[in-house]
Amino acid sequence: MTEQKTEEHSSALKSRSDLPFYAIFIAISTIYVLLIVAMLSAETTYTTPDHIWAAFAKPEIRYAIWLSLVSCAITTVLSLWVSVPIGYLMSRHDFRGKVLVDAILDIPIVLPPLVIGLCLLILFQVDVPQIEWLNEMVASDSEANSSQEFAMKKTQSIDDLIRKVTKLIFGKAIGVTYEIPSVILAQFMVACAFAVRTMRVTFDQIGPRYEQVALTLGCNRGQAFWRVVFPQAYRGLLAAGTLAWARALGEFGPILIFSGATRMKTEVLPTTVFLELTVGNIEGAVAASLIMVVSALFVLVIARMFGLTRAVI
Amino acid sequence: MISVNKLCVKVGDFELKDISFEVPEGHYAVLMGKTGSGKTTILETICGLKKVLSGTIHLHGKLATHAKPAEREIGYVPQEGVLFHTMTVRDNLSFALELRKWSQQKIDERVEELATLLGITGLLNRTPHGLSGGETQRISLGRALAAKPAILCLDEPLSALDEDTRGEMCTLLSDVQRLTGVTTLHITHNISESDRLGDMKFLIEGGVLKSLPSKVREKRSDLTGKVSPETGSPSDSSTQVKVD
């Protein structure tokens, strides 16, 4: 009897095949993977290499490539500088209002990109009082008509203030809104939020034990961080850097609002795609987007080469 | 000497109250207790890694309740060894000495001395990746002892080791303590380990710390002909502190 029962049980178990389970899962996965491959293939085969080289020869597109590479590099460095201390403090310390700070740090990730651009635009147009001594110093450096200009208004925007300060320091007024710094700032606001999240996870994974040992061996907090924790966080740093760079390269919404889409001035690669499409030059748009596709793949390969985990990237 | 008097510590929701005990100079004390009883918290508080709510900690007769970990001159060996993975074994051993600005020659001499004592000479130039549990703990012990601390705190250093390696490490710990004379506080939940090593035994149970009789200690006292000093804080009624 017992043997019969065992046989019945085993035959009942055998009848349940794993095939439907895997068939459904594999089918869904395949459709999505094929969609990605098809999407990229369609773009790469849409136009001829001649058209692409012709698009590259255009000075506007060359400028956009140059500005994209430079602004993304600066954004990455800035993001790492900011994300390391924030990530460390958020990972290691509990303090009053931490939940609120945590939520604030996630705002750039969840906020629609266009809204970030609009917020930045408004922020730099906020009126602040005129600073007399600054106006006088700038006026003495510049022509009479500009000093009259300063005197006419009682208030000034933050952007104007920055122009005056930079004029005084560098001898040339450098504004933010609709200028190159706005491109970097718009990229930074979003890219840094991702870098902060990555660095926080990195420090969480390293755990506090290493620096505790370092403290007992004679380190102060700074020494424990720079000598022990920071070198161990290099994978996280690379991940945060690559992520920030990739986010910055694809940033479009905030740049369009905050920097405008002025050719040979604030035009980055996503702006090129947009501008070329609006004038009906699809080859130009494809050429610019291909550069971004190749860059994204390059970043992905680098990230995998350094063994960065899928969870991070 | 480690002297803890009416110590109160709070970590999250966990709280320890009125903990008192004393480990005289040169003794090997073992603190036992179940998981979650608070033994690691006590050890970390002595090392200066947890904030003290009230009570005092005296190390070598000096008040060190709120001193920074670096000022306490304690060698700390955590449970998993926690070697610095971006450094070689040699750099791990010389870490505390470089912080104290020893000359390179003195550092090299000390590292060689430690490596010989702990049997890790062949490992000096490699990184900690791929080391066995026993090797990791030897290096961790060497790193803690490098700056010649007067106190050594071991947090379940043998818990992750197999039986043979554990036996070897017990012998090593015993030899090292005998040779260096370092006052040691060793946390474990393993009775045979505590019997083998401790000349003083403490047990923490239900938030109360009491001392237990130790066979090893009696044996050592017989051998040396010395009478073991009595320890503890008579003022604390909740804590049994006298050692048999």
Nearest-by-CA chain B residue for A207 = B82
Query: Cβ of A213 under 8 Å from any chain B Cβ?
Result: yes
In B, which residues are within 8 Å of A228 by CB distance? 84
- Domains along chain B with CATH numbers: 2-77+138-224 (3.40.50.300)
Task: State whether residue A37 is helix, strand or coil.
Answer: helix
With bands split at pLDDT 50, 70 and 90, how would you rate the model's confidence at A300? confident
Do the Cβ atoms of B78 and A220 come within 8 Å? no
Contacts of B77 (CB under 8 A, 6+ apart): B137, B140, B141, B144, B152, B153, B154, B155, B157
Do the Cβ atoms of A218 and B70 come within 8 Å? yes
Q: For residues B154 and B157, what is the distance between their CA atoms, to the nearest angstrom?
A: 6
Q: For residues A211 and A302, what is the distance between their CA atoms, to the nearest angstrom?
A: 29
Nearest-by-CA chain A residue for B69 = A216
What is the H or E stretch that residue B196 is in?
helix B191-197
User: Which of residues A119 and B240 earns the better pLDDT score?
Assistant: A119
Do the Cβ atoms of A217 and B82 come within 8 Å? no
Task: State whether residue B71 is helix, strand or coil.
Answer: helix
Q: What would the two tokens of residue A251 be?
A: 């940033």
Do the Cβ atoms of B49 and A216 come within 8 Å? yes
Query: Cβ of A235 under 8 Å from any chain B Cβ?
Result: no
Q: What is the pLDDT of residues B102-123, one digit of tens each?
A: 999 999 999 999 999 999 999 9
Q: What is the pLDDT of residues B127-142, one digit of tens each?
A: 999 999 899 999 999 9
Query: Cβ of A226 under 8 Å from any chain B Cβ?
Result: no
Evaluate whether B152 touches B185 at the Cβ level (below 8 Å): yes
ipTM: 0.85
The radius of gyration computed from the CA coordinates of chain B, to the nearest angstrom, equals: 18
Contacts of A262 (CB under 8 A, 6+ apart): A178
Question: If we measure between CA atoms, which residue out of B187, B182, B159 comes closest to residue B74?
Answer: B182
Q: What is the pLDDT of residues A28-62, one digit of tens each?
A: 999 999 999 999 999 888 888 888 888 888 898 89
Chain B closest-CA separation from residue A230 CA (Å)? 10
CA angle B39, B176, B96 (to 5 degrees): 75
Chain B: residues touching A (Cβ < 8 Å): 44, 47-49, 68-70, 72, 74-76, 78, 80, 82, 84-86, 95-96, 99-100, 143-144, 146-147
Domain ranges across chain A? 2-42, 50-112+178-305, 127-170
Q: For residues B241 and B202, what is the distance between their CA atoms, to the nearest angstrom?
A: 9
Residue B179: Cβ within 10 Å count? 9
Q: What is the pLDDT of residues A51-102, one digit of tens each?
A: 888 888 889 889 999 999 999 999 999 999 999 999 999 999 999 999 999 9
With bands split at pLDDT 50, 70 and 90, how would you rate the model's confidence at A4? low
Residue B71: Cβ within 10 Å count? 13
What is the fold, at CATH topology level, of the domain defined by A50-112+178-305? Answer: MetI-like fold (1.10.3720)
Q: What is the pLDDT of residue A16?
A: 75
Helix, strand, coil percent content, chain B, rounded in steps of 5: 35, 25, 40
